[in-house]
Structure 1
Amino acid sequence: MTAIVSEALIARLAEWGVDTVFGLPGDGINGIMEGLRRNQGKVRFVLVHHEEAAAFMATAYAKATGRVGVCLATSGPGGIHLANGLYDAKLDHAPVLAITGMQETSVLGTGYQQEVHLDRLYEDVAEYNEMVTNPAQLPGLVDLAVRTAYARRGVAHLTIPNDIQVADAGKNPWPTVAPAHAPATSPVYLSPPVRPRDDDLNAAARVLNRGERIAILAGIGARGAGPLVERVAEVLGAPVIKTLSGKMVIPDDSPFATGGLGLLGTAPSAELVDDIDTLLMLGTNFPYTKHLPEPGKVAVVQIDTDAARIGSRMPTDVPLVGDVGASLTDLLPLLRTRDDRSHLKKYQDKMSDWRSKMAALESPDRDPIAPQYLAHLLDELCTDDSVLTCDSGTIATWAARHWNIRARREFYLSGNLATMAPGLPYAIGIQHAYPDRQVVAFIGDGGFAMLMAEFHTAVWHGLPIKVVINNNAGLGQILWEQMVLGYPEHGVRFGDPQPDYAGWARSAGGYGVRVEKAGDLPDALRTAFATDGPALVDVMVDPNEPPMPGKVTYEQAKKFAGAFLRGQPHKAAIATTLFKDRVQQLKDR
């Protein structure tokens, strides 16, 4: 059988170590599907219900493994559907390769059916972006695409016309015009050296050794360097703030951890940034600058592998270009150990008080079910090596504050894009990567509804993911954002009848149960977690529970109160919930 271009494409991906392609077939990629069929012993194809989910799965696979994630879509609308998931990869610096179809070269430019020039559409999202127009270009373009995705930590895209997909591999279609002279390449990527220069390390040490009240801000770029981060924190007497994406860097019960920063963060972290004279930023490009120290008021040392990102959020005294782990290894011997632990002790005490307040909100005695209680039960019942995927919205607040990193636990969500809907496909992508680990998707009803068909994908592929829906029958985060702006809620709650998500799970072949009473929740979760295959627990939580910022500003409080006075339709229920929260916190002190 003559080898076709698509066969060479998939075979080359296998040489790069690619073992999975997430996608949805279409007439614009039938040739590539044949290439996958011919290489099915090397690369598995994961059929999904929606191309957006395929891109999310590839992104999650890349985030969790560090290897390139690959997604596949047909020409035109299929490729358009990939875009949201690809922007998630771009903004969170995950290496992803998108492969799309294209109309035959003979009809390009004629306004043919589904003629969307995806290489032009992806100009903003892709670091490498090419249309294959000659069979001789492969495997060279595959090598360049994958290598660029790794080197620039972003998206690469190859779009392949139908006639090229099925052409003879390596054959020049125009031999009388010019001989084929494609460059010889190899499927190899070598990470560049990551150790900062000695002069820069010494300069960083001088700044940190002068500091008296130091804090560390650790992002996902510090993943894997947690023990080093804690050793530096011990030497400097520095509390450690974690970005939400960097939640897994050090355990949540670490004596140095003060939790997150920003709307989803803790009060101690918010107070800490106003109380320091020095900030050490590790592997983070934290975008919410209003929550960072006032520029010019603190000395800043920042470590990142990308020199372009250093100094983009805060004026930086010493930039260190390098891997966080390698940089801290060389920096540690240069640092002066602090004898005065008062700064650290101050925030350890504040965190003890904060944890007590959060624990008070995890009461099983409240009706309707408190979302904090649901998140707390997940924390209790999940294994020590579980992976939690999360959606955007109020769900992220409950996960950030009540589900704790310990042992080998990991946590993933859409960080900088903060899109809805990735929680479920993230879980599927990560379960493919780690079939023996517990993977739990903790998502809101709004995010689940967007890509709920992918629960059937998990069933069909035999992936034992667990889905826990924090169901507040609306778009909770937007409700509270409207109120903080001083507006009464509008367009954020779904009326009756409510969808039967548990029924959908059962109809798809999985386990499904709906829970409305707190007393039924522990057994429902235990049963779901003990189920061999995919399981879903739809939990009806209090829709009036506010995801309050760790530290409420005067302006936020004033506008929130104004929304009440201008006719907030659920103000009685909201006021009651806030009152219950406060009573519970006082009772449990």
Structure 2
Amino acid sequence: MSESTTRRLTVAQALVRFLSVQYTERDGVRRRLIAGTWGIFGHGNVAGLGQALMEAGIGDGAAMPFHQGRNEQAMVHAAVGYARQLNRLSAQAVTTSIGPGATNLVTGAALATINRLPVLLLPGDYFATRPADPLLQQLEHPVEADLSVNDTLRPVSRYFDRVTRPEALIPSALNAMRVLADPAETGAVTLALPQDVQAEAYDWPEEFFADRVWRVRRPVPDPVELEEAARAIRSAARPLLVAGGGVHHSEAEEALRALADATGIPVASTQAGKGSLRHDHPADLGGIGHTGTAVCDATARTADLVIGVGTRYSDFTTASGTLFQHPGVRFLNLNITAFDSHKLAARTVVGDARAALEALGAALDGHRVDSAYEAEYRAGKEAWERVVESAYRADDDGAVPTQTQLLGALDAVVGDEDVVINAAGSLPGDLHKLWRARSPRQYHLEYGYSCMGYEIPAAIGVQQAAPDTPVWALVGDGTYLMMPTEIVTAVQEGLPVNLVLVQNHGYASIGGLSESVGGERFGTAYRYRAADGTFSGAPLPVDLAANAASLGMDVLRAKTVRELREALVTARASDRPTCVYVETDPAATAPPAEAWWDVPVAEVASREAASNARERYERDVAARRRHL
């Protein structure tokens, strides 16, 4: 047997070459696993991965397309947006220098892992050979000399390794791909790369660079679990299905629709699962939980069987354990991960969401919920639609729009194919209650981490994944001020993302929360200090529209409902990055919360507002249940 041939490359060159020939395959469709690399270069990666990416990323048909970022956290957000748009079947890598560039990855990594979305992180690291000690930006630990700032990425990564020898890259890179492509394991994956090792040459086996396909499995449910699940549903009088993000990730929307059509079981949606059914489907009850619709939360309170599909049951979904109040309520969870399927002491069906829903539909052949139950929730759905119409309606086109009227104006402009992105502030609650999702990819809410600053870079990632799709980033002034930098990237790359920038002079959602828990909106307004030292003076003279224009965006200022509608139409037709700037009327027009959310209130306080809030808190928390 002849020896395998080898290729002499640096570690960085070998890694880039390896990444360029990795693929996923599901249902016969093949995609690049790592479709491109974002990067900001410094002394920890410029001579290693920087040099390797230059060789691989120049010219037509580049082996590894390179994307230049402005902020390390934002680069991760862009990669996450890209992966989510493509149902986790394709991802991007992010490289940074050691030091602040690497630690800036931590927030994005947490977001990716919490939301179960794949991203490959390639931070530089200190010299493995330790020729000087300490180095620039080195964190010195008195008893752990091998510790680096990259270790902050360990708890927020699904897989972490520090590659201190060239030959160690082979098993590490293979394990990284395994985790990224595994629907039950995926999240942020970190390969920390010492800067001297990146530049070191090694004779690599040619087999390392052969095309490799990682098949994304669709595990089918266990027959016994499936039989028990079908029996539980057939015996339930008031079942409710909760669709989570796993429905989208597994492309199970059609299987869910078929099940709802056949059985009449109503469908609630989490923030990640909204759009699993089209908004006008008779069984779609909209959002569930603290930001849910009245009909959905009322149905949840009386459900005797809750069927979770691809959801991890966050506190917003369960209303902090107070939502599901039927005395005999039981849970049935369909999930690809056993960890999530066992939540709430549920019966479990471990498997791919599409495979499980299809099998469940067959097992329930001929079964349908009682007609009175269908009539009840359909009447509630019709009543809620009137609430939406009222919130969207603007009786005076010359008036300053409210935030819900802004959503109504956008609803009238978007097509089924448009993608609407949001993550933080008061908009997620309004969107979950009111948005009429028309397609599986339209509603893009990052609410696992609800990270301010996500929206603009995520819009760039979505636009890269779906270049012919109109993409909208809905951003409040607080979020905008945290991370507007990737506007420059959108301009540089010619990506026609649309930014709807809502000016309400502060952290509006936290201001409302603060008031409800006795905090009296302290420290939440963007205003001058008043004589008493509080931020209650005049609004600050900032011009965020001018800032967006200075970064290269076309900017449309809308002062009235009519101008807003016109600006949104213009933005959607533009082939350039465009910002629609609007200052909204602060009047509260959104429906109030239909379910509780647990934010502990001071047990003792000298101010009346906090004391009153504590009394309300003690009444509300008494409704919490532990489902065993």
TM more than 0.5: yes
Partner of 2:376: 346
Report 1:378-527 matches (<5 A): 378-407=410-439, 409-495=441-527, 496-527=539-570
Mean alpha-carbon deviation: is it higher for 186-195 or for 53-62?
Answer: 186-195
Where do residues 106-505 of structure 1 align in structure 2 (5 Å cutoff)? 106-107=129-130, 110-116=133-139, 117-151=148-182, 152-170=185-203, 187-223=212-248, 224-288=251-315, 289=318, 290-294=321-325, 297-312=328-343, 314-316=344-346, 318-335=347-364, 336-338=366-368, 340-365=370-395, 367-407=399-439, 409-495=441-527, 496-505=539-548
3-state SS of the aligned residue for 1:440?
Answer: strand
Q: Is the 8 A contact 2:38 2:93 kept in 1?
A: yes
SS of the residue 1:22 aligns to: strand
Between 1:191-200 and 1:270-279, the stretch displaced more is 191-200
Aligned to 1:175: none
Question: Does the residue aligned with 2:202 lie in a helix, a strand or coil?
Answer: coil
CA shift at 1:265, angstroms?
1.0
Deviations 1:38-60 (A, max 9, x none): 10111111111110101111111
1:96 aligns to 2:119 (yes or no): yes
Secondary structure in 2 aligned to 1:107?
Answer: coil
Between the aligned partners of 1:184 and 1:455, the Cα distance in structure 2 is: 36
Distance (whole Å) between structure 1 residues aligned to residue 542 and residue 589 of structure 2: 23
Separation (CA, whole Å) in 2 of partners of 1:105 and 1:205: 56
* Equivalent in the alignment of 1:84: 107
Counterpart of 1:69 in 2: which secondary structure? Answer: strand
2:38 to 10, 17, 22: 22
Structure 2: 5+ residue runs without aligned partners? 1-6, 23-31, 140-147, 528-538, 611-628
Equivalent residues of 1:225, 1:324 under 8 A apart: yes
Q: In 2, Cα distance between the equivalents of 1:34 and 1:209?
A: 62
Q: Does 1:32 align with 2:49?
A: yes
Give, in angstroms, the shift of residue 339 of structure 1: 6.4
Secondary structure at the aligned position of 2:203 is classed as: coil
- After TM superposition, give the deviation of residue 283 of structure 1 in Å: 0.7
> CA separation of 1:365/1:54 partners in 2, compared to 1, >3 Å: closer, same or farther?
same
1:510 Cα deviation from its structure 2 partner: 2.1
Counterparts of 1:51 and 1:441, CA distance in 2: 19
Cα deviations across residues 40-85 of structure 1 (Å, max 9, x unaligned)? 1111111111101011111111211112331111101101001101
* CA distance in structure 1 between the aligned counterparts of 2:470 and 2:241, rounded to whole angstroms: 31
Q: How far 1:108 moved relative to its partner?
A: 7.5
Cα distance change, pair 301–307 in 1 and its aligned pair in 2 (3 A): same
User: 1:4-45, CA deviations, whole angstroms, 9 ceiling, x for partnerless residues?
Assistant: 221111111111122211221112111101110110111111
Q: CA-to-partner distance for each residue in 1:226-254, whole Å, 9 max, x for gaps?
A: 22212222333221100011112111111
- Residues 1:62 and 2:105 are matched in the alignment: no
Q: Which of 61, 74, 99 does residue 53 from structure 1 map onto?
A: 74
- The amino acid that maps onto 2:432 is A
C-alpha contact (below 8 Å) 2:279/2:437 kept by paired residues: yes
**1:426-457 deviation digits (Å, cap 9, x = unpaired):** 10111111111111111211111111111111
Alpha-carbon displacement from aligned partner over 1:132-185 (angstroms, at most 9, x marks no partner):
1122233442221121222211121111111111111337xxxxxxxx9x9999
Structure 1's 94 and 409: CA in aligned 2 closer, same or farther, altered over 3 A? closer
Partners of 1:141 and 1:351 in 2: CA distance: 51
SS at match of 1:157: strand
Gap change, CA 1:475 and 1:554, over 3 Å in 2:
closer
Aligned in 2, Cα 1:310/1:294: closer, same or farther, shift over 3 Å?
A: farther
How far off is 1:2 after superposition? Answer: 6.3
> What's the offset of the Cα at 1:420?
1.1
Q: Output one character per residue of 1:384-410: Cα deviation in whole Å (capped at 9) or x when no partner.
A: 111111121201123223332114642
Q: Distance in 2 between matches of 1:392 and 1:334?
A: 40
- Distance in 2 (alpha carbons) for counterparts of 1:296 and 1:486: 32
C-alpha distance in structure 2 between counterparts of 1:300 and 1:552, whole Å: 19
23 and 498 in structure 1: CA distance in 2 versus 1, 3 angstrom threshold: farther
Tell me, yes or no, if the aligned pair for 2:21 and 2:211 is still in contact at 8 Å: no
Counterpart CA distance in 1 for 2:269 and 2:229 is 21
1:488 alignment partner, SS class? coil
- Mean Cα deviation higher: 495-504 or 356-365: 495-504
Letter of the aligned partner of 1:444 in structure 2? G
Q: Is contact 2:125-2:195 (8 Å) kept?
A: yes
Structure 1 window deviating more from structure 2 (431-440 vs 293-302): it is: 293-302
Distance across 2 between alignment mates of 1:148 and 1:461: 30
Distance 1:118 1:185, change over 3 A: farther
Q: Please identify, of 367-376 and 238-247, the stretch whose mean Cα deviation from structure 2 is larger.
A: 367-376
Question: Secondary structure at the residue paired with 1:113?
Answer: coil
Aligned to 1:541: 584
Tell me, yes or no, if the aligned pair for 1:36 and 1:45 is still in contact at 8 Å: yes
SS of match in other structure, 1:158 = strand
- SS at the partner of 1:106? coil
Deviations 1:497-552 (A, max 9, x none): 34322222222222112222222111111112121110001111123426554426
Contact 2:291 2:594 in 1 (8 A): no
**Over aligned residue pairs, what C-alpha RMSD do you find?**
2.8
Distance 1:295 1:82, change over 3 A: farther
Following superposition, the deviation at residue 105 of structure 1 comes to: 2.0
The unaligned stretches of length 5 or more in structure 1 are 172-179, 568-589
Which secondary structure does the structure 2 equivalent of 1:259 belong to? strand
Kept in 2: contact 1:483–1:563 (CA 8 A): no
Indicate how the Cα distance of structure 1 residues 403 and 276 shifts in structure 2: closer, same or farther if over 3 A, else same.
Answer: closer
Residue 419 of structure 2 contacts residue 472 of structure 2 at CA under 8 Å; is this kept in 1? yes
Q: Report how far residue 411 of structure 1 moved.
A: 2.1
